[in-house]
Amino acid sequence: MKNVYRSIAVLITVLLLSGFVRSDNDIYFQMSKSIDLFGRIYKEVALNYVDNVNPEEFMNAGIKGMLSALDPYTVYLGEDKKEDISLLTDGKYGGIGATVGVQNENVTIVDLIEGYPAQRQGMRIGDVIKKIDSVSVSRGNYNELSKYMKGEPGTELNIEVEREGFDEPIIFKLIREEIEIKNLSFAGFYPENSNNVYLKLSGFTRTAGEEVKNALLNLNKQKEVESIVLDLRGNPGGLLDAAIDVSEKFLENKQLIVSVVGRDTLDKKEYFSNEQPIAGNTKLVVLVDNGSASASEIVAGAIQDHDRGVIVGDQSFGKGLVQTLIPLSYDTSLKITTGKYYTPSGRCIQKIDYAKENDVIIPITSLNSSEFKTDNQRTVYSGGGILPDSIISNSSDSKQMKHLLAQGLFFKFATNYFNVNNTANLAEIKDDEIFKEFLSYIDEQSFEYKTRSEKLIEDLYKTAEESELNADILNQINNLKKEIVKERIRELEKNKEEILGKIKEEIAARINGDKGRIMQSLINDKQFATAIKLLKDEKIYNSFLAFGKF
């Protein structure tokens, strides 16, 4: 009997050493079991469901459902996303050079890239797309629009648009070209006649660093660059390599830019600057807002942690996750989150902890505390995006302005105004006249905006009617309502300068595209004005960076 027990003990030991004894906690067993179950369920449903099932769409739905349990950045990219992958990595795609969006339920041209088919052949911002080839276009199929507009360079498409002020539709016959998206939307001396360079960086594809470098070298040939405003507002990010490349233009050689930590917290990869900066000593302000994410936050975080420049604006988005693009079979890919990034001081910028939101992700011990120190021992914080050194908001406090923007009335008015007047000179526009035109226009468009007081008075009038109060009381309430309406008009007058600024931005975009919009927007930009003020006053600039305080 002892020999039997001894044999069993030896057998168990052998099985343990060889991995044959499995545990339900063993990840490989769990994966094998899950794949088997998933495959069986997929096959049974695909073959035996009461109605015919599209096998490919059914699998896509399963993949989408599975990945939805993770973070929103981990996604499956099917065959139809090849152009999107090319745009993501190289900043190139086959198309016509037009950006579309939804304005008042209409699929509308919202931007045109200069020099490409759409702009060359006369399409305009504000044109409403009604048909692409034989496909009718509406809000309902907006998400599928990419596959109709993008395609192989050299192929043809016909686009039918409606244009305000024109009775008949306009049909454009266009040939797709390879469109190269520039990361730098604007690079130049601004304010004019100054030695300050303004760089508006809108993306982070492979060429971002080279674009910044070439712009600074070319501008420095014109006159000495004394200061730089790097605008990362609204920049959603892009490639990690591009963020490193841009950072290298401002940081000293061998300085740490970012660290990436994967599932295993011991698996840490550090990225250092590997070149001499071309703007290493030039005074620098970086503008950020809640639309600055990912690669934008890597650059801003490195600049802040090394006290290389002052960060101005609103708190950034807080996307501290790194994605890797994994090619799969059949021209498909998986974009998967493989790590979190940490700024040079050691802080993670990620705002949302997806591990807390479901049972699928197993939380790991955080590498982060909440407070960190820059090179000059300034305190910076983790876990919620980049907190600017100088917090200045550009967003309007006026609810009325927010309603005007939300209803697309500046966009629509500028489209109508440009189509009717076809003006090419903002200097010719008289403020009082265009403001009156705008007030008439929003009245015609039935601008929907009611103050809280107006709503309360309407409720009061309704209650008074239902209570059958006498006519005098109803008239008094009605007169009060008229006074509130007058107050709404007075509020428009109060917001006149801000309204005129938005109108001119949109008209400038019709005249000179994105460059025109950017230059016009800077005139009333509080964050940009703060940046210029800091750069002009060396004492204040240095005080923000705590120079000399160790």
Domain containing 161 — which CATH number?
Answer: 2.30.42.10
347 inside domain: yes
Q: Where among 394, 416, 442 does a domain terminate? A: 394
* 41 assigned to some structural domain: no
Q: Are residues 142 and 234 in the same domain?
A: no
Q: Is residue 488 part of a domain?
A: yes
For residues 163 and 221, membership in a common domain is answered with no
CB atoms within 10 A of CB 516: 19
Phi and psi at 103, nearest 5°, equal -125, 115
Same domain, 386 and 438: no
pLDDT, tens digit (0-9, with 9 covering 90-100), for 36-89 = 999 999 999 999 999 999 999 999 999 999 999 999 999 999 887 777 777 777
What tokens appear for 155 in the block?
């192929």
218 and 312 part of one domain: yes
Q: Are residues 261 and 369 in the same domain?
A: yes
CA atoms within 13 A on the CB side of 314: 13
Same domain assignment for residues 188 and 166: no
Considering the domain architecture, whether residues 212 and 324 belong to the same structural domain is answered as yes
Last residue of a domain, one of 394, 410, 434: 394
- 294, 296, 333, 521: the catalytic one is 294
**Catalytic member of 182, 200, 319, 340:** 319
Q: What is the pLDDT of residues 147-195, one digit of tens each?
A: 889 989 999 999 999 998 888 999 999 999 999 989 999 999 999 999 9
Distance CA 137, CA 148 (A): 10
**CA 399 to CA 161: how far, in whole Å?**
33
> 459, 88, 16: which is closest to 241 by C-alpha?
88
Residue 320 lies in a domain: yes
Predicted local distance difference test score (pLDDT) of residue 147: 84
Q: What is the pLDDT of residue 451?
A: 66
Q: Is residue 4 part of a domain?
A: no
- Residue in 305, 314, 389, 514 annotated catalytic: 305
Residues in Cβ contact with 121 at an 8 Å cutoff, skipping those fewer than 6 apart: 172, 174
Instruction: Name residues of the chain where pLDDT drops below 50.
Output: 1-24, 367, 548-550
Task: Report pLDDT for 92.
Answer: 85
Which residues, including other chains, have CB under 8 Å from residue 526's CB and lie 6 or more apart? 392, 393, 394
Domain with 436, as residue range(s), is: 399-524
CA pair distance 398, 185, nearest whole angstrom: 29
- Residues 489, 416 share a domain: yes
Q: Token digits for 518?
A: 């950017």
- Rg of the Cα atoms in the chain: 29
Q: Measured on CA atoms in the order 367, 369, 370, 376, is the torsion positive or negative? A: negative
State the pLDDT at residue 4: 41
Do 348 and 415 lie in a common domain? no
Task: Measure the CA–CA gap between 453 and 460, rounded to whole angstroms.
Answer: 10
Is 294 considered catalytic here? Answer: yes
DSSP for residue 355: G
User: For residue 79, which of 60, 65, 94, 96 has the smallest C-alpha distance?
Assistant: 60
Task: Report pTM.
Answer: 0.84
Cβ-count burial of 512 within 10 angstroms (0-12 exposed, 13-18 middle, 19+ buried)?
middle
In a domain, 80, yes or no: no
Question: What domain count does the chain have?
Answer: 3
310 plus 418 within the same structural domain: no
319 is annotated as an active-site residue: yes
Strand partners, 238: 204
Q: Does residue 529 belong to any structural domain of this protein?
A: no
Q: What is the CATH number of the domain that holds 217?
A: 3.90.226.10
Residues 480 and 429 placed together within one structural domain of the fold: yes
Same domain, 414 and 377: no
pLDDT at 266: 77
User: Does residue 231 carry a catalytic annotation?
Assistant: no
Which of the listed residues 374, 394, 414 is the one where a domain comes to its end?
A: 394
pLDDT in tens, 455-482: 777 777 777 777 777 777 777 777 777 7
Are 100 and 216 spatial neighbours (Cβ–Cβ below 8 Å)? no
